[in-house]
Amino acid sequence: MEFRHEPVLLEECIKGLNIKKDGIYVDGTLGGAGHSKKILENLSKNGLLIGIDRDIQALDAAKKRLEKYENVKYIHGNHDDIENILDNLNIESVDGILLDLGVSSYQLDEKNRGFSYLGENELDMRMDKSQELTAKSVVNSYTEDELSKIIYEYGEERFSKQIAKNICLYRKDKEITTTKQLVDIIDKSIPGFAKKDGHPAKRTFQAIRIEVNNEIKPLYETTRKCITLLKKGGRLCIITFHSLEDRAVKNAFIDAEGKCTCPKDLPYCVCGYKSEGKIINKKPIIATEEEQIRNSRSKSAKLRIFEKG
């Protein structure tokens, strides 16, 4: 299957990165290489792009799409490990980093990956197929309380308790192994009046995917880490698709920017606060109406940008 992926907020990201033609840039979520291709178009042969992805299939597809470029390094890894990745490449700091979080269009379309609630496929949802934890193991081994908490927090699903209860009741008699089994359980757990807002399984599938791939917990620290790895004037652009993601990034940016805590009547600062740089956009950048019509994935996208001081 072809790795299709329309990059979200493409022009906004390129503008936000403020690309230097001879600079070093990291795409921490290489995916379909849509953003990376545009970055490379703005780099000279002396510039360098480092593309990181957890998904081997994504890396293989990106290599084909970017085959005419020689100034690219492909890394199978997790952007949460960016410090070690750059250290292994003997690179101390970079001019820009881009993170486009969440699941790619390809991963959703490739039904056998188990990300989609459409059809009947194995419950997997791993971005990195080499890891052990799968959606099947989450659904069949987590306690009712654990499932309820995950579905509520990561999926913002108000019927999380009923869904978790019915999952546990079902698996007493039979292991849940397919996406269809899980969809049927979710569908029976949600009352009819609440099924008007999209597919009833959407929020639960999102929650389980986030848990399987540990997408939220390290995000604050990863964001702070990325800022420390930037050169002076370097930019970090992060696209989020979920309120918890956006909150983690926003808080990391605020803490990195810092704030003087001295009383206002003091003539000079004595608290000794240090700022790592500045937030470029106080409010997140969202997709234009035209892009939202063209690409439904962009509807929930938010872009935040930080510049190293």
- Residue 3: per-residue pLDDT: 53
Q: Is the pLDDT of residue 270 over 60?
A: yes
* Greatest alpha-carbon span in the chain: 71
pLDDT band of residue 193 (cuts 50, 70, 90) is confident
How many whole angstroms separate alpha carbon 28 and alpha carbon 7? 14
Q: Which residue has the higher pLDDT, 272 or 227?
A: 227
Q: How many independent structural domains does the chain possess?
A: 2
- Residue 196: per-residue pLDDT: 80
pLDDT digits (tens, 9 = 90+) for 223-254: 999 999 999 999 999 999 999 999 999 999 99
Question: Could you tell me which of 92, 50, 102 has the C-alpha nearest to residue 73?
Answer: 50
Output the average pLDDT for the chain.
Answer: 93
Which of 212, 245, 278 is a domain's end point?
A: 212
Do 132 and 58 lie in a common domain? no
Do 228 and 269 lie in a common domain? yes
- Residue 215: per-residue pLDDT: 94
Q: For residue 48, give the amino acid letter.
A: L
Please say whether the dihedral angle defined by the alpha carbons of residues 260, 263, 266 and 267, taken in this order, is positive or negative: positive
244: how many CB neighbours lie within 10 A of its CB? 16
* 111 belongs to a structural domain: no
Q: Which of 173-177, 198-202, 263-267, 304-308 has the lowest mean pLDDT?
A: 263-267
Terminal C-alpha separation, the chain = 43
pLDDT digits (tens, 9 = 90+) for 122-167: 999 999 989 999 999 999 999 999 999 999 999 999 999 999 999 9
Residue range 206-217: mean pLDDT, rounded = 95
Asked if residues 7 and 32 have their Cβ atoms less than 8 Å apart, the reply is yes
3-class SS of residue 225: helix
CATH classification of the domain holding 290 = 3.40.50.150
* 1 belongs to a structural domain: no
pLDDT digits (tens, 9 = 90+) for 57-72: 889 999 999 999 999 9
- Residue 290: per-residue pLDDT: 95
Asked if residues 119 and 181 have their Cβ atoms less than 8 Å apart, the reply is no
Question: Could you tell me which of 108, 119, 130 has the C-alpha nearest to residue 178?
Answer: 119
Question: Could you tell me which of 104, 47, 101, 53 has the C-alpha nearest to residue 74?
Answer: 53
Q: Is the pLDDT of residue 256 over 90?
A: yes
Do 199 and 222 lie in a common domain? no
Q: Is the pLDDT of residue 109 over 80?
A: no
Which of 185, 212, 239 is a domain's end point?
A: 212
The boundaries of the domain holding residue 274 are: 10-102+216-308
pTM, full prediction: 0.91
Question: What separation in angstroms does the CA of 197 have from each of 67, 183, 202, 224?
Answer: 42, 16, 10, 35
- Residue 1: per-residue pLDDT: 44
3-class SS of residue 266: coil
Residue 139 neighbours by CB under 8 Å, 6+ apart: 123, 147, 167, 171, 176, 182, 208
Do 152 and 176 lie in a common domain? yes
Q: Which residue has the higher pLDDT, 53 or 114?
A: 53
How many whole angstroms separate alpha carbon 171 and alpha carbon 175? 5
Q: Is the pLDDT of residue 174 over 80?
A: yes
In DSSP notation, 30-82 reads -TTSHHHHHHHHTS-TT-EEEEEES-HHHHHHHHHHTTT-SSEEEEES-GGGH
How many whole angstroms separate alpha carbon 123 and alpha carbon 6? 25
Do 220 and 98 lie in a common domain? yes
